[in-house]
Amino acid sequence: MKSQFAVAVLSFGVISSNVALAFGLTSSEPAPASSPGSSREYVRVAGQRLIAAGDREFRIRAIGAGSLSADPIEDDYERIAQLKFNAVTVMLSYQRLFNEAKPGEYLESGWQRLDAHLALARKYGLYLILEMADVEGAQFVPSKGQAVDYRVWIEPEL
User: Residues 53, 78, 131, 109: what is their CA dihedral angle, to the nearest 10 degrees?
Assistant: -120
Q: Can you give the pTM of this predicted structure?
A: 0.62
Q: Check: CB of residue 148 under 8 Å from CB of residue 141.
A: yes
Cα torsion for 77, 80, 85, 90, to the nearest 10°?
-50
Report pLDDT for 149.
Answer: 57
Q: How many residues does the chain have?
A: 158
Q: For residue 145, what are the contacts with CB-CB under 8 A and spacing of at least 6?
A: none
In the chain, domain spans: 9-153
What's the pLDDT tens digit per position in 6-55? 222 222 223 333 333 333 322 234 444 445 555 556 889 999 999 988 88
